[in-house]
């Protein structure tokens, strides 16, 4: 995963994106308990690079203190947080997307809908030429989300997983502007 540009403004501080089922909104201090409930599950934390397990109140508070940066959003469904996403600019001018969904909300299309909204935002509103993503190879569901959006494999590497305490095989993927335009053009 590349060099990130933390000063780049992806979203304004209060900006909200709407999809058919979700509201992608800024995280708020009141989200602490929901974050703990959703992330403090092995099946969630172990499929992300940076989430510790167990996930405690101090982790949630520290996360909320850090996410004032404009690249992270909570996924809300019926006014309840169901997951989160990030949209990180890279030094190359490309973007890297990431997402997670709490286990009670799996199999509802939330990851696909969120990722599609981030892709649309990157290509429609910014001059990016490429979006990258990745998934642990033992998480094929996340791989299918990326594949359905047109992402293609570009290589494997080892990425450290905080919850597991070890490096995990990761499949990197990319979607270029040309590929996206070919998929979305009538």
In the chain, the percentage of residues whose pLDDT exceeds 90 is 70
pLDDT of residue 10: 54
pTM, two decimals, is 0.89
Residue 170 lies in a domain: yes
Q: With residue 166 as reference, give the H or E element that holds it.
A: strand 166-176
The conformation of residue 180, written as its DSSP 8-state character, comes to H
Work out the burial of residue 9: count CB atoms within 10 Å of its CB; fewer than 13 is exposed, 13-18 middle, 19 or more buried: exposed
Work out the burial of residue 47: count CB atoms within 10 Å of its CB; fewer than 13 is exposed, 13-18 middle, 19 or more buried: buried
Tens digit of each residue's pLDDT (9 = 90 or more) over 126-152: 778 999 999 999 999 999 999 999 999
Q: Which tokens belong to 77?
A: 């469904």
pLDDT band of residue 14 (cuts 50, 70, 90) is low
Specify the length of the chain in residues.
186
Residue 107 lies in a domain: yes
pLDDT band of residue 175 (cuts 50, 70, 90) is very high
11 vs 158: CA distance, rounded Å: 30
Tens digit of each residue's pLDDT (9 = 90 or more) over 70-102: 678 999 999 899 999 988 888 888 889 999 999
CB 97 within 8 A of CB 113: no
| Number of domain units in the chain | 1
96 vs 3: CA distance, rounded Å: 10
Q: What is the CATH number of the domain that holds 27?
A: 3.40.630.30
Domain extent for 98:
17-184
Q: At residue 9, does pLDDT exceed 50?
A: no
pLDDT of residue 105: 97
17 bridge partner residues: 24
């Amino acid at each position: 995963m590349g060099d990130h540009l933390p000063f780049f403004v992806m979203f304004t501080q209060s900006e909200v994106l709407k999809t058919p089922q979700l509201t992608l909104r800024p995280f708020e201090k009141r989200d602490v308990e929901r974050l703990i409930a959703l992330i403090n599950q092995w099946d969630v934390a172990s499929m992300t690079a940076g989430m510790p397990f167990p996930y405690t109140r101090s982790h949630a508070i520290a996360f909320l203190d850090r996410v004032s940066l404009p690249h992270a959003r909570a996924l809300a469904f019926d006014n309840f947080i169901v997951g989160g996403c990030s949209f990180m600019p890279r030094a190359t001018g490309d973007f890297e997307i990431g997402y997670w969904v709490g286990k009670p909300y799996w199999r509802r299309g939330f990851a696909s809908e969120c990722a599609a909204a981030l892709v649309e935002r990157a290509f429609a509103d910014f001059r990016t030429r490429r979006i990258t993503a990745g998934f642990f190879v033992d998480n094929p569901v996340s791989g299918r989300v990326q594949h359905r959006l047109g992402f293609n494999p570009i290589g494997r590497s080892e990425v450290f997983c905080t919850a597991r305490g070890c490096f995990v095989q990761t499949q990197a993927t990319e979607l270029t502007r040309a590929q996206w335009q070919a998929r979305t053009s009538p």
